[in-house]
Structure 1
């Protein structure tokens, strides 16, 4: 089950799911991206979980089932769990597809679903950074040190740690640059899939100390001893991160005008 949490309240961008980006709402774009990824998977449902009737009606108008959830639910993962538990037949897994990130890397959602179907307790995408992308991330962090998350992972894809700093540190970087086309750094993409029991355990636990220090909820999973499988995906057409402000909308519309629109016409 893929759940798009779509909350009405947003202090920085009121009624965010209904805001237009180059002629289509943020929610419609996220639904279209998800629908294109799971179109061939007849066993995976797609729903919007919201606390707002207008958002629910809009989801229905663009062909997606909406589930009403309590306004008191504070997080997207909590809203995704509530939507899953409302089903008469409980799903094996739940993918929390953030409604403000419609420009995910192509193949990310499908790769997460495949990992869950293969038995992963939690799955999330990562992107391998080439040296130019690593340089750009370092430059970005001089201005916004808590923007952008990296992941240290084992050769089999198991996440070892996530951080707002760039990990791991690189010794003898000049030699590595001369010998390797890609850096050893992996950037995390904020898309999470959970086996239902793993999501229940996550939601039942209070935030952990290291989670609070880094501001990264996935560290709660690692502190709880829940293994996280990372899946490598290709970079997106352009890196938009989340949509949180009017400036973000203007920036993404400019990227669409320059690079083309990556959202399927669905």
Structure 2
């Protein structure tokens, strides 16, 4: 499978602020950001992988002072945000205004706080499409190889068309869906929710009400497409495991304790 190779690409001329939204409320895994993995809270592992990506400063946007304290204890940056945000994007935008009010960083990258196994290359791959000034938002996807996953609505499908250029595996997003799409022979791609926004695109996005298709599919990124924003997607080889349940946490602990995290 093609994988992005971004280490020497010209996107390094851009400057990104990486924001990791983290909230304590989780019905399936209470206090999830502070779940211990190999002696450290999960949010610290995510912060560290984002720092290794080296695309700009990293800040955790927390809804609880305990998360802020845990990140500070590890040497990271964190800010306390409102507890009543309806989405992670809103929390990310508040943190960006607090930590970079002058807009020194033209790109804001939203990295979820429950992906401690995220490959730094995958973070860079989400950032890469923004070398094209026509792109508003960059993100990533991976090929679905398990037949069961092809028909699972929990695996969000990215319907895309390839884009020629210097970035290997770059596509333009046409649609995102929980259905099995597109029809016919060929690969299906799972969307991975890492988003690199131009600052103006993020400001525009959070100002919009939820769109009709967004509410129908329960996919926030459709709000951007319905408003005419361009989303480009980089195909990557790795699929980061998000942690939502105690069983997920046990699997991640096993991988990290075995020293198999990509760095």
Q: Does structure 2 retain, via aligned residues, the 8 Å contact 1:32–1:263? A: no
User: In the alignment, which residue of structure 2 is the partner of 1:152?
Assistant: 159
SS of equivalent to 1:66: strand
Whole-angstrom distance in 1 between the partners of 2:32 and 2:73: 17
Give the drift of 1:111: 1.6
- Aligned equivalent of 1:89, options 102, 105, 109: 102
Q: Does structure 2 retain, via aligned residues, the 8 Å contact 1:134–1:185? A: no
Whole-angstrom distance in 1 between the partners of 2:120 and 2:254: 20
TM-score (norm 2): 0.83
The ranges of structure 1 where at least 4 consecutive aligned residues each deviate by more than 4 angstroms after the TM superposition are 254-257
User: In the alignment, which residue of structure 2 is the partner of 1:176?
Assistant: none
Distance verdict in 2 for CA 1:256–1:137, change over 3 Å: farther
Structure-to-structure mapping, 1:1-266, within 5 angstroms: 1-38=17-54, 41=55, 44-86=56-98, 87-90=100-103, 91-119=105-133, 120-129=135-144, 133-138=145-150, 141=151, 145-156=152-163, 157-170=171-184, 173=185, 183-236=186-239, 240=241, 242-256=242-256, 260-262=259-261, 264=263
Q: Does structure 2 retain, via aligned residues, the 8 Å contact 1:47–1:64? A: yes
Whole-angstrom distance in 1 between the partners of 2:29 and 2:143: 31
Q: Does structure 1 retain, via aligned residues, the 8 Å contact 2:158–2:173? A: yes
SS of equivalent to 2:147: helix
Q: Deviations over 1:27-69 (max 9, x none)?
A: 011011101111xx4xx22111112111111111112111121
Query: 5+ unaligned residues in a row in structure 2: which ranges?
Result: 1-16, 164-170
Q: Does structure 2 retain, via aligned residues, the 8 Å contact 1:105–1:233? A: no
Whole-angstrom distance in 2 between the partners of 1:117 and 1:60: 32
Give the drift of 1:214: 1.0
Whole-angstrom distance in 2 between the partners of 1:263 and 1:115: 22
Q: Does structure 2 retain, via aligned residues, the 8 Å contact 1:126–1:186? A: yes
Q: CA RMSD in A?
A: 2.0
Distance verdict in 2 for CA 1:88–1:205, change over 3 Å: closer
Give the drift of 1:126: 1.1
SS of equivalent to 1:251: helix
Q: Does structure 2 retain, via aligned residues, the 8 Å contact 1:105–1:234? A: no
Which entry has the higher C-alpha Rg, 1 or 2? 1
